[in-house]
Structure 1
């Protein structure tokens, strides 16, 4: 997972100055949003401004969250941005079945001679139930994630803990499909950095890797939360050194038991980006 992006910063497509700031923010990926962040009467402008920007390569990977194909704007979004040389990926909202992914793949393949990387956002109970089927829907699908605001509304969940089943299900589905771990959904309170840190710790414990953001001030908090600590790195190195010296299960001097699963976890820790 070397080089795996930890921060994904959303920026509204109808505000080019905000997009420009996002591109210079240090985010690993910038997601230009044509969907929820853009009012209906601004959709056409957002689409054309984004297509214009992506005519040229960008300094960081740029994904575009298009509108759902089931609505009035999704097809126009795909026609405008899918062929763009500066596009690094398409984020597909409100995916509830494998056919949603396949329809997009078929629609864009003729526009650019191939399908760009696709990322499915699961935002309903039905989407969560079909998570693995969605995750294996098409070879161009590179990741799945949860749109928690819409999912919360669909489920009628009032407490954050009520989403943990859905979160775990998506983590398992991604792993079973051979996809990277999902990224966490956005933390909507951009000033609550302590809450963001605690939420990231919870997400990391559940198996997520990295997080979407809606303000640059959230980026260093997310990165700090998901980077392995010096203690974690030291422990992983100790495990691997011990494993290299002895075959089979063993215990370290501190009582830590080492077996194949522990060694796998240590390898995973050391393949993550590390604190500069």
Structure 2
């Protein structure tokens, strides 16, 4: 059975419960309640209390919470076990020790480390395989640029590829792209998503609902991709070995699996 992966994640600041509720009603696959960058330090105590109150009951969408730090034991322990919590997002993870610490504090909670420094990129595969609780990794482009002292352009091409390779090598889903900070320039967002998809990313986090349909459309396969995938799946049958298509192309099990993923994405409904 092919599971359709999420394509969109919508961030909402934890100290603004009214915005979180709007996010939960938005056409997104999941909501990320932020206790880190979007919340001033003086309001993080309130943000944690408001988030815990909301997650005391189940929510209509999966809810991830980005804690302020993997060392924030109070936040992690407060959130662990709440019925509405689907996963924890851990900013600025650089070592496997960060993962083990959180896994002890939050048994059974899926963890998604964010790699945002040169050291984290160097440790990408080790972090991805640090603990069974790690369900995905992603890159924090803004903080990584600051750490490396680079600007836009090709400077992050290698770190982005490194994250994609590490996730695949660890048996994790393809990572989603980092947020696109300009909520007005939807054309640039689309172009960035197309580039990210070419690098192996799948989906993206958004900071405004208007970005969601752009992300969704950019990562959905084109009609010709769907047609090619359907041909491969139809020809595959029950076997797992390599076989030839009528046009002479050889196909193996990995290509069939990729074709099934393509069809799963094609069957998604676009946000209204």
TM-score normalized by the length of structure 2? 0.92
Instruction: Assess, with a 3 A threshold, how the Cα gap between structure 1 residues 51 and 273 changes in structure 2: closer, same or farther.
Output: farther
In the alignment, what sits opposite 1:143?
A: 136
Q: What is the CA-CA distance between 1:273 and the residue it aligns to?
A: 4.8
Is the 1:228–1:275 contact (alpha carbons within 8 Å) kept by the matching residues of 2?
Answer: no
1:103-131 per-position Cα deviation (integer Å, ceiling 9, x unaligned): 0111223xxxxx21110000000000000
Structure-1 residue corresponding to 2:76: 78
Residues in 1 aligned to 2:154 and 2:17: alpha-carbon distance in whole angstroms: 36
**Residue matched to 1:107:** 105
| Aligned partner of 1:202 among 195, 215, 221 | 195
Unaligned runs of 5+ in 1: 110-114
Q: Check if 1:98 corresponds to 2:96.
A: yes
Deviation at 1:161, TM superposition (A): 1.5
Q: Distance in 2 between matches of 1:31 and 1:275?
A: 21
Q: Which whole-Å CA distance do the structure 1 matches of 2:177 and 2:137 have between them?
A: 10
| Cα shift at 1:252 | 4.5
The equivalent position to 2:159 in structure 1, one of 162, 166, 169, is: 166
Deviation (angstroms), 1:80:
1.8
Q: Which residue of 1 aligns with 2:220?
A: 227
What's the offset of the Cα at 1:262? 3.9
Deviation, structure 1 residue 242: 4.1
Where does residue 111 of structure 2 map in the other structure?
A: 118
Offset of 1:248 from its aligned partner? Answer: 4.8
Partner of 1:112: none
1:182 matched to which residue of 2?
175
- Give the CA RMSD over aligned residues: 1.9
Residue 136 of structure 2: SS of its match in structure 1?
Answer: strand
**How far is 1:81 from its partner?**
1.3
| Partner-residue secondary structure (3-state), 1:142 | coil
Residue 2 (1) aligns with residue 10 (2): no
Secondary structure of the residue that 2:61 maps to in structure 1? coil
Q: Provide the rounded CA distance (Å) in 2 between the counterparts of 1:208 and 1:190.
A: 20
Q: Matched residues in 1 for 2:21 and 2:228: separation?
A: 40
Match runs of 1:48-87 below 5 Å:
48-70=49-71, 74-87=72-85
Q: What TM-score do the two structures reach when normalised by structure 1? A: 0.91
Quick check: 48-57 or 100-109, which moved more?
100-109
Partner SS state of residue 21, structure 1: helix
Tell me how far apart the structure 2 counterparts of residues 118 and 95 of structure 1 sit (CA, whole Å).
11
Moved more, 98-107 or 265-274: 265-274
Question: In the alignment, is residue 272 of structure 1 matched against residue 271 of structure 2?
Answer: no
Q: How many Å apart are 1:159 and its aligned residue?
A: 2.5
How far apart, in 1, do the equivalents of 2:255 and 2:112 lie? 30
Cα distance in structure 1, aligned partners of 2:164 and 2:67:
23
Separation in structure 2 between the aligned mates of residue 80 and residue 189 of structure 1, nearest angstrom: 33
Q: Do the aligned partners of 2:178 and 2:204 also contact (CA within 8 Å) in 1? A: yes
* Alignment correspondent of 1:15: 16
Whether the 8 Å CA contact 1:243–1:258 is kept in 2: the answer is no
Deviation at 1:44, TM superposition (A): 0.8
> Is 1:259–2:251 an aligned residue pair?
yes
- The SS at the match of 2:217 is helix
Contact 1:4–1:273 (Cα < 8 Å) also in 2 = no
